[in-house]
């Protein structure tokens, strides 16, 4: 079904970095001239999806506005990855509506505007590649056919510097630690200068030093106006950047509002924590983030 969806939309996926064949477009030029410049980068309404015969998304509403940093939280298996994979076209929706920058998903072709860092992937596919080569791949959607231009090289260099990997540019990716690897994958997404950055558990398996670097990288991107949707298990060092949190449970949204402060501070696996922002007279929202 995924392959069918992929063929239909004419794109390839891994990092949201390719698009309809033969199409070239200068960075920053919108695909749809009728597009409303104020349109939300992501608008998901009543989204449903089924995997392996089981409903995994059960009517999700998720809006990410321009310049916002939204964390998608929830326990294992609550549907976070499926939600973002449906947004980037890897999982077909069985119902509901999705618009990207105001364009219905099926008509959306401007994938260069979106940078996607999937969960737990590896850049080392068995083909020997250097750090710079992997990061340069993130530029493909922005490039005209032919050798990289000055702007392409500059964007790759900037992305390498942002994640603190410029001094490793010539190294094979196979020689990197897990955290460095993740930084390279994020640099690959950043090299495309996306307006919307979607990252699925960017801190998973990343050492503390790399986490701090990634938080700094993200801070700079956000300061430049990039819109960000992050799937997270805990807010951790990214907490100060998060504008809003959407919490999923069993494929449904159970909270959409201020980030739950306790997550990443005292929530432990198995702890069904009570949301601290609930109104005094309201029923406490049990996010159960980690259960």
> Which residues bind to ligand ATP, rule: CB under 6 A?
51-52, 56, 74, 76-82
Question: Tokens standing for 214?
Answer: 């990634």
**Least CB distance to ligand ATP at residue 243 (A):** 21
**Least CB distance to ligand ATP at residue 249 (A):** 9
Q: Which is nearer to ligand ATP, 81 or 221 (CB)?
A: 81
Q: Which residue has the tokens 């980030």?
A: 259
Assign 106 to helix, strand or coil: helix
Taking alpha carbons only, the member of 227, 240, 234 closest to residue 206 is 234
| Rounded CA separation 24/41 (Å) | 21
Q: Which is nearer to ligand ATP, 84 or 241 (CB)?
A: 84
Rounded to a whole number of angstroms, the CA Rg of the chain reads: 19
- Phi-psi domain of 193 (left: phi exceeds 0; alpha: psi -120 through 50; beta: other): left
Q: Which is nearer to ligand ATP, 78 or 227 (CB)?
A: 78
**Least CB distance to ligand ATP at residue 73 (A):** 9
Instruction: Collect all residues with Cβ–Cβ distance below 8 Å to 277 and sequence separation of at least 6.
Output: 257, 258, 260, 261
Q: Which is nearer to ligand ATP, 79 or 259 (CB)?
A: 79
Residue nearest to ligand ATP (CB): 52
| Rounded CA separation 261/211 (Å) | 19
**Least CB distance to ligand ATP at residue 231 (A):** 6
Beta bridge partners, 114, equal 196
Angle between helices 150-162 and 208-223 (to 10 degrees): 130
**Least CB distance to ligand ATP at residue 3 (A):** 13
Q: Which is nearer to ligand ATP, 52 or 146 (CB)?
A: 52
**Least CB distance to ligand ATP at residue 62 (A):** 13
**Least CB distance to ligand ATP at residue 52 (A):** 3
Question: Tokens standing for 280?
Answer: 């005094």
Taking alpha carbons only, the member of 120, 100, 277 closest to residue 196 is 100
Q: Which is nearer to ligand ATP, 62 or 155 (CB)?
A: 62
C-beta separation of 44 from 88 below 8 A: no
């Amino acid at each position: 079904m995924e392959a069918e969806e992929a063929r239909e939309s004419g794109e390839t996926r891994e990092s949201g970095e390719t698009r309809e064949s033969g199409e070239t477009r200068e960075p920053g030029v919108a695909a749809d001239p009728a597009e409303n410049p104020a349109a939300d980068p992501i608008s998901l309404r009543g989204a449903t999806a089924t995997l392996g015969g089981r409903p995994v998304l059960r009517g999700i509403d998720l809006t990410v506005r321009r310049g916002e940093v939204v964390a998608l939280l929830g326990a294992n298996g609550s549907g976070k990855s499926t939600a973002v994979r449906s947004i980037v076209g890897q999982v077909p929706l069985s119902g509901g509506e999705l618009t990207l920058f105001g364009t219905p998903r099926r008509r959306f072709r401007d994938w260069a505007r979106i940078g996607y860092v999937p969960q737990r992937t590896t850049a080392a596919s068995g083909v020997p590649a250097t750090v710079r080569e992997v990061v340069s791949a993130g530029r493909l959607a922005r490039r005209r056919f032919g050798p990289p231009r000055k702007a392409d090289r500059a964007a790759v260099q900037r992305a390498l510097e942002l994640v603190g990997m410029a001094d490793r540019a010539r190294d094979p990716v196979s020689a990197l630690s897990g955290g460095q690897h993740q930084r390279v994958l994020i640099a690959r997404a950043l090299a495309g200068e996306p307006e919307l950055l979607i990252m699925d558990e960017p801190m998973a398996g990343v050492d503390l030093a790399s986490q701090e670097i990634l938080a700094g990288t993200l801070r700079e991107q956000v300061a430049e106006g990039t819109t960000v949707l992050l799937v997270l298990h805990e807010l951790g060092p990214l907490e100060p950047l998060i504008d809003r949190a959407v919490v999923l449970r069993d494929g449904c949204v159970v909270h959409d509002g201020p980030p739950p402060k306790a997550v990443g501070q005292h929530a432990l696996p198995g702890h069904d924590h009570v949301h601290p922002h609930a109104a005094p007279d309201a029923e406490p929202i049990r996010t159960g983030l980690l259960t």
